[in-house]
Structure 1
Amino acid sequence: MLVRRVLGRGFGAVGLGVVVVLGAGPAVADGPRLPLPAPEADLAYHGQVAVSAGRVDVGFIPQNHGPSAVGDATVRLRWSAPVAFVPGLPQQCVRAEARTVLCRTGALPADGTGGRIGVSVWLAGVPSEVTVRIDTVWSDGKVDRNPQNSRHQVLALDTGDVYYF
């Protein structure tokens, strides 16, 4: 009986020691942590702009040069003149302001492309030229360290000519 009590207490002490050691583990892990680097993606937009009699046609293909996939991104199209009429936006686009339309790109795999997005609008007053700005406003939390290929400013004359970006 004495042997049982000593062994029982001994195992209890060992068990308690394990609990104390395990209990101290998280306190060490909760110390200062370095922030994890944000995942990176390199979004790009390649397309064209044409203006004819006040109608502006913008078409582009979103692309992700990687290294991380992007679940979805939002592209802003902004005209230098107020938009008077939008004949019909693609399902993934919405009018945000008098001069602005926002479009979702959909999922963009690393080193992949998305579907073509085309937006046509009629401008107020039929200006002889218009500047269209294209840029990313949201990229699924990914960092784009090369924004030059996802920010464009295209000056298009009302001649029907196609301007590429």
Structure 2
Amino acid sequence: MRGGRVDVGLTPRNHGPADVSDSTVRLRWSVPLAAGAQRLPAGCARTGRQEVVCRTGALAADGLGERIALRVWLRGRPTEVTMAVDTLWGGGAVDRNRANDRQQVLVLDTGDAYFF
């Protein structure tokens, strides 16, 4: 994050045991997104004051999906925010381990990259 701009790169992963035909992830920030239109990639849409959802496409069992890259602008110039990523819809697949469906990270306005 730098000056209210957050760049996110997300690579979805299916831990199995079966393929997933499609799924949706939700990204939520602890502060509102900036007013006006955000330029989001195909497959992503703003769904609330603080959230964006993105389609992952098909995910093979024990495989990685296509990387999702987006940039959002936050209202004001916060010095820190919390960003949560969670599985919103799993294509109807049965998930025996819902514990790995949600990640959360504290993002500081340093311009540094975070990996989790």
Question: What 5-or-longer segments of structure 1 have no aligned partner?
Answer: 1-50
1:114 corresponds to: 65
The answer to whether the aligner puts 1:161 opposite 2:106 as a matched pair is: no
Separation in structure 2 between the aligned mates of residue 59 and residue 86 of structure 1, nearest angstrom: 20
The answer to whether the aligner puts 1:129 opposite 2:80 as a matched pair is: yes
TM-score, length-scaled by structure 1:
0.66
The answer to whether the aligner puts 1:99 opposite 2:32 as a matched pair is: no
**SS of corresponding position for 1:149:** helix
Deviations 1:56-109 (A, max 9, x none): 111110111211110000100001010005542110101100101000000001
Following superposition, the deviation at residue 142 of structure 1 comes to 1.4
RMSD, aligned CA: 1.2
Higher relative contact order (CA 8 A, sep 6+): 2
TM-score, length-scaled by structure 2:
0.93
The answer to whether the aligner puts 1:79 opposite 2:29 as a matched pair is: yes
Separation in structure 1 between the aligned mates of residue 99 and residue 12 of structure 2, nearest angstrom: 14
**SS of corresponding position for 2:42:** coil
Separation in structure 1 between the aligned mates of residue 7 and residue 100 of structure 2, nearest angstrom: 20
Deviations 1:9-55 (A, max 9, x none): xxxxxxxxxxxxxxxxxxxxxxxxxxxxxxxxxxxxxxxxxx11110
Question: What 5-or-longer segments of structure 2 have no aligned partner?
Answer: none
Q: Which amino acid aligns with 2:49?
A: A
Larger Rg computed on CA atoms: 1
Aligned residues, how many? 115
The answer to whether the aligner puts 1:70 opposite 2:15 as a matched pair is: no
The structure carrying a bigger helix percent of its residues is: 1
Map 1:54-65; keep pairs closer than 5 Å.
54-65=4-15
